[in-house]
Amino acid sequence: MQIGTDKVVSIEYTLTDDAEEVVDTSVGEEPLVYLHGAENIVPGLEVALEGKSVGDELKVTIEPEDGYGEYLEELVSVVERAMFEEIDELEPGMQFEAEAPDGETQIVTVVEVDGDDVTIDGNHPLAGQRLHFQVKVVDIREATADELAHGHPHGDDDHEH
């Protein structure tokens, strides 16, 4: 079986940056399981995996526009400390869910705390970066009707949303 739309794919991967530092890996853990064609992974990696089979290994470099996007300065803003009233210790690196201008939920990262001013960044932490993946295809199977309806794979005990 080959990887294609509506297949549930399991991969082992290691993600490194341009300095060859490991950013993330599934090696030694459970493989990453995703629904191919449902935008569960970055577009460039999904395209690179198309047509691959179990046991295939590949190295692929993904440019920012096919990964987490370009870094957008307009997603960095300064907000009032009062917006975080329930948080006693607010520190750089903390992440929060916020409502984006389009009404969608987005993750923002605290960049700086300066008195009552808090600088937040709505970019993905890997936005603007070239991604280097080393991937091994571990398993491929047909997606179930529920998985197709929900747009992501379900594990053995993943029946509630």
Q: Coil, strand or helix: which one is 59?
A: strand
Work out the burial of residue 102: count CB atoms within 10 Å of its CB; fewer than 13 is exposed, 13-18 middle, 19 or more buried.
exposed
The Cα 137–Cα 121 span in angstroms is 34
Token output for 130: 């070239």
CB neighbours of residue 5 within 10 Å: 11
pLDDT 10s digits, 72-113: 999 999 999 998 888 889 999 999 988 877 888 889 999 999
- All structural domains of the chain, each given as residue ranges with its CATH number in brackets, are 7-68+126-150 (3.10.50.40), 73-121 (2.40.10.330)
pLDDT 10s digits, 112-137: 999 999 999 999 999 999 999 999 99
Global pTM reads 0.81
Q: Which of 106, 102, 131 is nearest to 121 (CA)?
A: 106
Which residues contact residue 89 at a Cβ distance below 8 angstroms, ignoring those fewer than 6 apart? none
